[in-house]
Structures are given as C-alpha cells and as structure tokens.
C-alpha cells in the first residue's frame, strides 16, 4: 500500500509575533488538489512538575489573556531560542516562577500541544530536592505559588477547574509513573 504524498509548495510569513510566527502554507494533497493551511511556528518550551518534600506539587496561579482569567498551571515558559536545552529552561522557569531551585530534574515526557496547526513542543521535567531560591518574575507576570497533592489536582482536572493541556498531561503522567 502506498503512502499518501503531501507536498508543501510554499510557506508565506503572514505575521511575526513575540512568541509565535503565523504562516500560510500552500500544500498539494495526495489527490492533486492545492490547499492553504495555517501554520504557527513556536520555538518550544519547557515545564516542570516541582515536588516538595511532603509530596505536594508546586503550582502557579496566573492571569492568561487568551482566556481572560486566572489559571492554575505547572511552571513553564518558552525557550530562549530554539537551541536552548529544555532542561536549562525548565530549571530557569522553576526558579523564576516559584522561587525554588533544583539540581535534580528528570525528563517526564515530551508533549506536542496542537499538532493540527502548530509545532510547539514542550519537554516536561520532574524536579525534586527543591531548594529555596529567589522568584524572578517578568514585568508582566503576577504569579501566586500554591501546593497541592496529586489527588487534589486530579479532582480539579475532572471538575473542569484545570484545563491547561500541558498541566493535565504532566500531572496525570507524574501520578501514573511515581505514585502508582
């Protein structure tokens, strides 16, 4: 059986943004038709499940403009360039957002957020042996750090109180791998 062939004929930059670039792709699909598809280019990101000594996970509550409300998420942030190692980005975001440091970061999973139109990849790490550091918020960040058990977080997920995809995937993967 032959594999269908898709051929990108053109990629046109429509708008450059501060964290994403928006393109219009012209694609020839297997039946010969030529179509236009949206494509969002993203440099990638890193996130971290920060585990306190008591087993509770550090979460960040922050305002998200896209939803026009606060969300509860794991600490995360974009890479400082495509070549930045995600482990370094995860360690940086942990300290910047929560005020804790860790030299013990283990890769939990790789996540593609929205494969239909975006290439964003988030590598999610587990940080243990947390040490107090200094929170370094960006000038537009206002973050409240909170701690919850995985049972409390799973309950919030199933109640629709946590909707962020990276956060849901990270919590459930951590719970499955480390607690069951």
Residue 2 pLDDT greater than 90, yes or no: no
Give the per-residue pLDDT at 1. Answer: 72
Share of residues in the chain with pLDDT > 90 (%):
88
Domain boundaries, the chain: 7-41, 44-179
- In angstroms, what CA-CA distances link 71 with 18, 75, 124, 178? 21, 12, 18, 25
Compute the distance between CA of residue 72 and CA of residue 57 in angstroms, rounded to an integer: 12
Residue 180 pLDDT greater than 80, yes or no: no
Q: How confident is the model over 89-122, as pLDDT tens digits? A: 999 999 999 999 999 999 999 999 999 999 999 9
Backbone angles phi, psi at 94, to 5 degrees: -55, -50
Q: What CATH homologous superfamily does 44-179 map to?
A: Nucleoside Triphosphate Pyrophosphohydrolase (3.90.79.10)
Give the per-residue pLDDT at 141. Answer: 81
Residues contacting residue 70 through CB under 8 Å, at least 6 positions apart: 61, 62, 63, 64
Of the two residues 165 and 136, the one the predictor is more confident about is 165
Q: Which among 48, 62, 65 is positioned nearest to 100, based on CA atoms?
A: 48
Question: pTM, whole model, 2 decimals?
Answer: 0.93
Least confident piece of the model among 40-49, 82-91, 110-119, 131-140? 131-140
Give the per-residue pLDDT at 167. Answer: 98
Task: Read off the pLDDT band of 139 (50, 70, 90).
Answer: confident
Pairing mode, if any, of strands 131-132 and 100-101?
antiparallel
């Amino acid at each position: 059986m032959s594999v269908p062939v898709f051929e990108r004929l053109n990629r046109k930059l429509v708008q450059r943004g501060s964290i994403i670039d928006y393109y219009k792709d012209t694609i020839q699909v297997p039946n010969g038709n030529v179509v236009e598809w949206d494509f969002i280019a993203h440099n990638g990101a890193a996130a971290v499940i920060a585990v306190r000594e008591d087993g509770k996970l550090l979460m960040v509550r922050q305002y998200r403009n896209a939803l026009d409300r606060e969300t509860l998420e794991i600490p995360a942030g974009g890479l400082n360039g495509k070549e930045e190692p995600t482990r370094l980005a995860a360690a940086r975001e942990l300290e910047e957002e929560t005020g804790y440091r860790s030299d013990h970061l283990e890769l939990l999973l790789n996540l593609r957020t929205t494969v239909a139109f975006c290439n964003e990849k988030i590598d999610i790490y587990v940080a243990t042996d947390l040490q107090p550091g200094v929170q370094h918020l960006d000038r537009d960040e206002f973050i409240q750090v909170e701690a919850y058990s995985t049972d409390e977080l799973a309950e919030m997920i199933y109640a629709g109180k946590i909707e962020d995809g990276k956060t849901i995937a990270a919590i459930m993967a951590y719970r499955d791998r480390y607690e069951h």
